[in-house]
Structure 1
Amino acid sequence: MALPFFFYHYLPNASGRALSHPDCVSILYTQATERGYLASLINAVGLGGLAYVRNAPSLIHVAGHIYAGALHGIRVALAEPAEAVSDQMLVAVMLLALYEVSLFWDKRKVELKITVIRRHVDGALALTELRGTGQLRNRVGRSIFLSLRTEVLVNCLDRWLRVPAALTNWMNEAHIFEHPQEAPAARLADIVVNACTILASLKERVTEKSNVSAYICEILSVDKALESWANSLPDDYKYSRSPPLKVSAPTLFGESDSYPGIDIVHTWNLHRCTRIILHQALFEILSPHTGSLPPQPAISYSSHEQQLQASDKMIQESSRGIYSSVSYILHFCDQPGRSEDMRGACILPLLWPLYVAGTTRTATDTARQRVIFQMQKIAEVTGIQKAKSMALGIQKSYLSPPVI
C-alpha cells in the first residue's frame, strides 16, 4: 500500500501530464521495487503519508524503523566514492528532507526540524561539490541541481539568510550549460540571491538613519529588478486569467489563472513571495521612522508615507497572484475532464507561497480563513503534516495583532 501511495502522490505521471524533473522520477521508479536505501526511503515516505491519511498511528512506528534502516544504508553507501556522487544518492537526500519536514512536522519541534532540514540541504550541497561540473551537462544531474537550488533559495528567503557561496558558485557554472527555457528561472534565482543578502543584513537591526536610507534604496533596487524580470518574460512564461474550476467554493479565492506548465507557476510564485517579503521588510524599516527620515533622492516616492502605501498595494497584488494560482496547481495532475484528489508532488511547492500570502499585513480575514481551510484539506488528503502546522501558524497570526 505504501508504494502505490507514494507513486500516486509523488510520481503522478499516470495522468499523461509531465511533472517537474522527469529524470528524477525515472530514477525513483527504477529503484522503488529494488533493495537498498532509496527503496527504503520511498516506503518510509509512503507509510508516513498513509499513517495520517488512514489515521493509523502504528504505521508511524513502522515508517520510522524503515527510515532508520535507510539512514544506515546511506552512511554505508557514502563510504563508496562512486555511490556517494551517484544520482540516486542525491535523490535520496532530497527524500530525507521530504520525510523529516513535510510528513513529520511537529509544531512542538519546529526548531529541531529546521535544524534537520538544514543538515540535509548542507549534505546535498556537499554532494554537489563532489559531483563536479559534469552534473550540469547530465540531464538527471541538472534536474536534481535545479530542484536543490529552489529548496535553498526558499529556505534563505523565509529565514532571511544569505545564500551559501557553494550554491551561488554552482549557479554561475549552471549558466554556461543553460537551456533557453531555463533562462527566466535562472535570472530570477540570481535576483533572489541579492534579495537574501539584503534581508540577512537587515537581521542585524541596524537603525542609524543613514543605514536605513541605504537599505530602502537597496530593497527598491532589487524590487525594480523583479519588476523588470516579469516585464521581460517570453510568451511561453506568461499566464492568463481563466474561469474558476468547478470545485467547492472554500478551496478557491475567486480568480483562477492558467499557466503553460507547473514549473512556470511555481517560478512565478517564488517571484511573488520575494516581492512580498521585500515590501514587508520596508514596513519593518519605515514604520518606526515614518515622518522622521527625510525623503531620499534615489527613492521615486515623495514621502515615506507614500512608500508604505505603494508597498501595501504590491503585497496585495502579489498575494492575489498566489491565490489565483491555487486552482491550477491543485488540478494540474487531474485526468482531462475529471477532478481527482490533489497530489502531494504538485502541492508541496504551493505550501510556502500560501503561507506567505496568508500571513501578510494586508491579508483579509476571509483570505486567511480560506488559506487555513486549504492547508487543512491538503494535510487531510495527502498526509503532509507541514500543511497542518502552517495552518496553525496562520491561525495564530490571524488571532494576534500584527507586530511591526
Structure 2
Amino acid sequence: MVNTGKPSMACATCKTRRIKCDRLQPECSACKRAGWICPGVPSEADVVFRHHRRRPAPPGSQQASIGPPLEPRDGQRIIELAPSITDRATAFFLYQYAFSPELCASTGISPGVHEHLPVLLQHEPSTGALSTIVSAAGLAALANAGASTPWKYDAYRSYGKALQQLQVDLQDPVRMKSDGTLAAVMLMGTFEMISNGDLTCMESFGRHTIAGAQCVQLRGPSQFRNLVSIILFIQLRRLIVSTCHQLQVPLPYTLKTWSRWTEDPQKKDEASLNRFFELNEDLAAIRAEIKRKAIRSPAVVAAMLTPIDDKLEDWKSKLPDSWYFRSYRSLVPGTSSAAGGQMFQYDEYPDFWVASTWNNYRMVRILIHESIMTTTINYGTDEEKTGLGQSAKVLAEMTNGICSSVPYIMGDRCNRRYSRGSLEAARPDLRRAKPGGCTLLWPLFLAGSLSTTPKDQRDWIARVLRELGLRMGIQLAISMAIKLEQTTSFSDADLWYIGEFFPS
C-alpha cells in the first residue's frame, strides 16, 4: 500500500481551497469568513479511505472535478462513496431553490417555488432536458458560491445539452406537452438568473418565459387536470407578469383564458389570484401605452394609472381572512433601525405563497407611484411637484412592507434578529433559509432603487441581496447589491417636495 501521509481532518472546502482549517464546529472560521457553506469536519471513519491506492482520472473528466476513484485491491470490490458532481449539483439546487413535497404537506404551504421538481425528476431520465438543466443550474450556483471556475464551464456545457434536448422534445407531439418539458423551459430562465451577473439578463430571461407561455398554449385546457400542471402554470404566470412589467410590454391576451381554465369557483384564494392577475394585465397595457406614445404629461399619466391603484386597494380590502398577516416589532436588544431608532418590524404570513403575492402587490403599487413621481419630477410644474406627498408615502409604505417580509421568507423568524440597522450584529442564518430567497430579488432591488428610500435602508437591502447571492450562488443578486451600493440617495434639496414624510 502506498503511504499517502497523515490523513487530513480539515473540512472538504478548506482542502479544496488548500488553506488551513481550524476545524471549528459547526462551521470553520475560513468558511464563515468567506460566506461558504462549511460541510463540517470529517470523522475518522471518513478519512480512512484515503489510504487506498487511487488511479488518476483523465484530465477534464467529471471525475477529475470530485477526486479520482478508488482502485480495487486484489479480490476486493471498492464501492465509490462520493457522489458525482452532477448529483451534488442537483442536491444543492433542490436544497436551496425547491420546497420539498413533505414540507408543503407538513406545513400546509400553498404553491411555493419549484416544489414540483422532486416529483417530476423521479419520472425523468437522467439524460433528459429537465434533469440536465437542474444539474446545470446547481453547478452554476455551486460555482458562484465556491468561486470554482471549472464548475462554471461544466454548468454551461450542461446548459447547452439541455437546450439541444429541449429542441428534440419540442418536436415530439407527446413530450412537448409534458410537465417535464414545461418545467425545463421555465428553469432555463432560472439558470440565466443564477449564472449571469448582468442586470440586463431580463431580455434572455424574457425569451425563456415567452417560450414557456407557448408551451402552455400548445398543451391546452387538458393540462390543468392535475395539481403539478396547475402549480407550474401559476408559477409561470407570475414570471410572465414580472417580465412584462420590467420590459414595459403588454401581457399575452391568451393568459386571461388560461387563468379561467385553472379557476375553481369554490376556492376564494384562486379567485383572488386571478383578479390580481387581471389588474396586472390592465396595468401592463397602460404602462406599455405610456411608453409607446412617450406620454410626458404628469396629469395624463396620473389619470391613466390612478384608477388601477384604486382597484388594487379595493382588491386588498376584499381579500379572504386567510390572506392577512400579522406585524411585530423586534424587542431583541441591538435590532433598532439606524433610520430614526425605531424597532425593526417583521411580518408573519399564513404561508410562503401569500407572502410572495403580497410582495407582488407592493411591486405593482411601486410601479404606479414611481411612474407618477418620475414623470412629475422631470416634466411637472412646481405646483404639481408639491402634490407628490401621497405617492412618496405609498412608496415608503410598500418598501417597508417588502423589507418586513424578509425574515419570514428567509426563515429567520425563530431568533427575531434581522435588523436593518446592523446586519452583521444580527445576521440571518441563511443556511437553513426557505427556498424562496430568489423571489425576493426583484422586490428588494426595486425598493432599494427608489429615490424615496433612505440610504441606511438602501444599504441594508444591498447587504441582504449580497448575503443571498453568496449563500444561494445567485450572481444576479451580487450585481444588484453592487448597483445599490453605488447609488447615492437624493439630497435634502431634491426631496423638498416630500419633506413632510422624511423629516430631518
Aligning the two structures, in what range does the TM-score lie when normalised by the shorter sequence?
0.7 to 0.9
In the TM superposition, what is the alpha-carbon distance from 1:262 to its structure 2 partner?
A: 0.3
Question: Would you say 1:151 and 2:151 are equivalent positions?
Answer: no
Equivalent in the alignment of 1:241: 327
Deviates further, 229-238 or 10-19 = 10-19
Matched-pair identity in %: 25
Match of 1:228 among 310, 314, 320: 314
Residue type of the partner of 2:307? Answer: S
Match of 1:352 among 438, 442, 456: 442
Deviations, residues 103-150 of structure 1 (Å, cap 9, x unaligned): 11232xx44x33322221121111111100112332121111100110
SS of 1:151 mapped into structure 2:
helix
Residue type of the partner of 1:227? Answer: E
Residue type of the partner of 2:270? Answer: E
Paired residues of 1:265 and 1:325 also in contact (CA < 8 A):
yes
The structure-2 alpha-carbon separation of the partners of 1:399 and 1:222, relative to structure 1 and needing over 3 Å to count, comes to closer
Match of 1:3 among 90, 95, 114: 90
Deviations, residues 12-62 of structure 1 (Å, cap 9, x unaligned): 436554462676234344147733221111111111111111221110111
Q: Could you state the TM-score of these two structures normalised by the residue count of structure 2?
A: 0.70
Paired residues of 1:319 and 1:357 also in contact (CA < 8 A):
yes
The structure-2 alpha-carbon separation of the partners of 1:334 and 1:384, relative to structure 1 and needing over 3 Å to count, comes to farther
In the TM superposition, what is the alpha-carbon distance from 1:224 to its structure 2 partner?
A: 0.4
Paired residues of 2:99 and 2:114 also in contact (CA < 8 A):
no
Question: Would you say 1:274 and 2:274 are equivalent positions?
Answer: no
Residue type of the partner of 2:197? Answer: D
Residue type of the partner of 2:185? Answer: V
Paired residues of 2:409 and 2:434 also in contact (CA < 8 A):
no
Question: d(CA) in 2 for partners of 1:392 and 1:10?
Answer: 23
Question: d(CA) in 2 for partners of 1:30 and 1:20?
Answer: 19
Match of 1:104 among 178, 181, 195: 195
SS of 2:431 mapped into structure 1:
coil
Residue type of the partner of 2:437? Answer: I
Question: d(CA) in 1 for partners of 2:222 and 2:478?
Answer: 40
Equivalent in the alignment of 1:34: 126
SS of 1:127 mapped into structure 2:
helix
Question: d(CA) in 2 for partners of 1:162 and 1:168?
Answer: 12
In the TM superposition, what is the alpha-carbon distance from 1:356 to its structure 2 partner?
A: 1.0
In the TM superposition, what is the alpha-carbon distance from 1:382 to its structure 2 partner?
A: 0.6
Deviations, residues 136-169 of structure 1 (Å, cap 9, x unaligned): 3321211111001100111112222211223233
Deviates further, 388-397 or 265-274 = 388-397
Equivalent in the alignment of 1:126: 214
Aligned length: 385
What is the aligned-residue RMSD (CA, Å)?
3.0
After superposition, where does 1:19-168 map in structure 2 within 5 Å? Answer: 20=112, 24-31=116-123, 34-100=126-192, 102-107=193-198, 110-111=199-200, 113-168=201-256
Equivalent in the alignment of 2:500: none
Q: Which one scores higher on RCO, CA 8 angstroms, separation ≥ 6?
A: 1
SS of 2:251 mapped into structure 1:
coil
Paired residues of 2:330 and 2:344 also in contact (CA < 8 A):
yes
SS of 1:257 mapped into structure 2:
strand
Paired residues of 1:375 and 1:390 also in contact (CA < 8 A):
yes
In the TM superposition, what is the alpha-carbon distance from 1:286 to its structure 2 partner?
A: 2.4
In the TM superposition, what is the alpha-carbon distance from 1:243 to its structure 2 partner?
A: 4.3
Question: d(CA) in 1 for partners of 2:254 and 2:309?
Answer: 25
In the TM superposition, what is the alpha-carbon distance from 1:227 to its structure 2 partner?
A: 0.9
Equivalent in the alignment of 2:79: none
Question: Would you say 1:318 and 2:398 are equivalent positions?
Answer: yes
Paired residues of 1:273 and 1:318 also in contact (CA < 8 A):
yes
Question: d(CA) in 2 for partners of 1:386 and 1:22?
Answer: 19
Deviates further, 390-399 or 72-81 = 390-399
Question: d(CA) in 2 for partners of 1:249 and 1:374?
Answer: 15
Deviations, residues 335-386 of structure 1 (Å, cap 9, x unaligned): 9xx9551547311111111011101121000011001111110011010111
Question: Would you say 1:365 and 2:445 are equivalent positions?
Answer: no
The structure-2 alpha-carbon separation of the partners of 1:70 and 1:344, relative to structure 1 and needing over 3 Å to count, comes to farther
Equivalent in the alignment of 2:349: 259
Question: d(CA) in 1 for partners of 2:115 and 2:92?
Answer: 20
The structure-2 alpha-carbon separation of the partners of 1:95 and 1:288, relative to structure 1 and needing over 3 Å to count, comes to closer
Paired residues of 2:465 and 2:478 also in contact (CA < 8 A):
yes
Question: d(CA) in 2 for partners of 1:400 and 1:22?
Answer: 39
In the TM superposition, what is the alpha-carbon distance from 1:215 to its structure 2 partner?
A: 3.0
In the TM superposition, what is the alpha-carbon distance from 1:392 to its structure 2 partner?
A: 2.2
SS of 1:362 mapped into structure 2:
coil
Deviates further, 325-334 or 184-193 = 325-334
Q: Could you state the TM-score of these two structures normalised by the residue count of structure 1?
A: 0.86
Question: d(CA) in 1 for partners of 2:446 and 2:157?
Answer: 34
